[in-house]
Chain A
Amino acid sequence: EPEVTQTPSHQVTQMGQEVILRCVPISNHLYFYWYRQILGQKVEFLVSFYNNEISEKSEIFDDQFSVERPDGSNFTLKIRSTKLEDSAMYFCASSRQSNQPQHFGDGTRLSIL
């Protein structure tokens, strides 16, 4: 069964550094999403992406964050100048159409030191 793949599984970064999280969505899916989950808290929406542009973003997704689809398969989340509070699990998800079920990758655990 097709799945969303994310790399790396764990990223440790010094505060203030830039980090790029990578995702390969399911191949015939058109909508891509990033979520984060701080330890012990609920899953929070960051951004959705369709047709090579951002469709919607939450209040969390400020100027520190950016997304890109650099080629036909990858979907990336860049966090500039990381802060301690950016430590979380980051999940990529994709769906075939809007309002269709979103399928999640295994996540990247981001630890900011």
Chain B
Amino acid sequence: QKEVEQNSGPLSVPEGAIASLNCTYSDRGSQSFFWYRQYSGKSPELIMSIYSNGDKEDGRFTAQLNKASQYVSLLIRDSQPSDSATYLCAVEGGGADGLTFGKGTHLIIQP
């Protein structure tokens, strides 16, 4: 059974600070890793994808992957109130595997 674990939060961060979101996964054969943002009642929106160990930066977002530790993280710099949402970590094994999602971390950016 593939599992993706996230702290459900809520994680409260002051506006302008760095928000750090973490995720661990159980399947060592996982190849692709994604972060999605989901506002209440809306669909998941892709934020970042990462496929190899290390960091990947895109604007205010940095994804980090450590396959040896089976750990993925997302950093959000200069957090804005509009970043308040649930952040979903998703992992894909290979082929046409579906995504295995974590339960998500509820992030609150305090103005």
Chain A residues near B (Cβ < 8 Å): 31, 33, 35, 41-50, 55-56, 58, 89, 91, 98-107
Contact A55 B96 (CB under 8 A): yes
Contact A55 B95 (CB under 8 A): yes
- Interface hub of A41, A58, A89, A102 (most chain B Cβ within 10 A): A102
Contact B43 A45 (CB under 8 A): no
Give a binary string over B29-66; 1 marks a CB under 8 Å from any A CB, 0 the rest: 00110101000001111100101000000000000000
Per a CB cutoff under 8 Å, which of A55, A101, A106 touches B43? A106
Number of CB contacts from chain A to chain B under 8 A:
67
Per a CB cutoff under 8 Å, which of A56, A89, A101, A104 touches B98? A56
B100, closest chain A residue (CB):
A45
In the assembled complex, which residues on chain A have CB atoms less than 8 Å from the CB atom of B104? 42
Contact A42 B102 (CB under 8 A): yes
How many Å lie between the Cα of A43 and that of B6 in the bound state?
A: 13
How many Å lie between the Cα of A42 and that of B99 in the bound state?
A: 12
A-B CB contact pairs (8 Å), 16 listed:
A33-B99, A42-B88, A42-B101, A42-B102, A45-B99, A46-B98, A48-B98, A55-B95, A58-B98, A99-B31, A99-B92, A100-B49, A101-B46, A104-B45, A106-B43, A107-B42
Q: A98-B94, A101-B49 are in contact. List 7 more A-B contacts (CB 8 A).
A: A35-B98, A42-B88, A43-B88, A98-B96, A99-B92, A104-B44, A107-B42
A59, closest chain B residue (CB):
B1
Q: Which of B1-41 contact A (CB under 8 A)?
A: 31-32, 34, 36
